[in-house]
Amino acid sequence: MKNYIIAAIIALTFASSQGVVNQMDKGSINYSDRTISAIGIGFVPINAVNAGMARRLALRTAKQDALRQLIEIVNGVTLTSETTMSNAMVDDVISTKVQGFIRGARQVGDPKYLSDTSIEVEYSVPMSGISDIILPPANTAVASSIPSAGGAAPAPTSGAVTGVIIDARGLNARPAMAPQILDQQGSAVYGPGKYSREYAVTNGVVGYSKTLEAAQKDPRVMGNPLILKGISTSGANRTDITISNADVSKLDGANRSYNVLQDCRVLILLD
């Protein structure tokens, strides 16, 4: 039994190491499972009438602290190669919607009762809610801009292509909510107008992983993914990935046959 528990802990640690996570003192941005979490601390008030009230007040304070931390962490989320959420939050409408969304954050696990009598809680929100606020309204031109299967080019690999993995390891690339894939002339071959807003909100514009083995098992691309190599990054935030023009042709063929771009079946490997 003891050996089983140790093995389970090792497996969980290994699995979490495959995710692309920006870890912070009071929370994290997980670009792989698309969650943003924050930890709040609440202290027992000295004027509490009884232990039950003291605990309730400490929990309320801890939740308020976690929600404040969440807003700060969300501000640091990278949106594109040039923008972060803090840029977007300058817009009062977006800021109000995001803060309202964060107020609906869910508690993760049970509160932790610390030795100094304080209480620690963790709250989390899905990136899908942020995407729904940030991504522009659906455009009927988006679907028509994706080549139809009727004029399909030959698939670049044998069998149905189930997705695309862009290997950006070694490029010091960084994660974002809405990165682009570029050709060598700097034009976007994957970006706004190339994917369904519904898929982008629900599943994210791209997925992220740290190993090819984990990427190939990701439901987004699992089966027979086309694997392409990134050759450089672009943008101040180093989130857009450039691929060779030869690989652009392969990507176009896969998309014409299997709509991998419209369905956001794109995963990026990072260091």
Q: How far apart are alpha carbons 65 and 187 in whole angstroms?
A: 43
Specify the pLDDT at position 49. 66
Q: Considering only 17-26, 135-144, 170-179, 208-217, which range has the smallest mean pLDDT?
A: 135-144
Residue pLDDT, tens place only, 16-67 = 456 899 999 999 999 999 999 999 999 877 776 677 777 888 999 999 999 9
Using the predicted structure, report yes or no on whether residue 110 has a pLDDT greater than 60: yes
Please state which of the ranges 31-45, 144-158, 164-178, 226-240 shows the lowest mean pLDDT: 144-158
Beta bridge partners of 40: 121
Question: Which of 262, 153, 152 shows the shortest CA–CA distance to 198?
Answer: 262
Higher pLDDT, 31 or 159: 31
- Partnered with residue 234 across adjacent β-strands are 240
Computed over every residue of the chain, the mean pLDDT equals: 87
pLDDT category at 2 given cuts 50, 70, 90 is very low
Domain ranges of the chain: 19-134, 140-269
Q: Tabulate helix, strand, coil % of the chain (nearest 5).
A: 35, 25, 40
User: Does 229 score more than 80 pLDDT?
Assistant: yes
Arch. (CATH architecture) of 19-134: Roll (3.10)
pLDDT at 13: 38
pLDDT tens digits for 242-260?
999 999 999 999 999 999 9
User: How far is 157 from 154, CA to CA, in rounded Å?
Assistant: 9
Q: Which residue has the tokens 């009230």?
A: 53
Mean per-residue pLDDT for 216-221? 96
Distance, CA of 228 to CA of 223 (rounded, Å) = 16
Rounded Cα distance, 250 and 42, in Å: 54
Q: How far is CA 262 from CA 104, 141, 147, 168, 181, in A?
A: 30, 12, 10, 21, 13
What is the side-by-side strand order in the sheet with 240-243?
188-190, 181-182, 240-243, 225-234, 163-167, 266-269, 207-209
Range 144-170 average pLDDT: 63
Residue with tokens 């969980």: 12
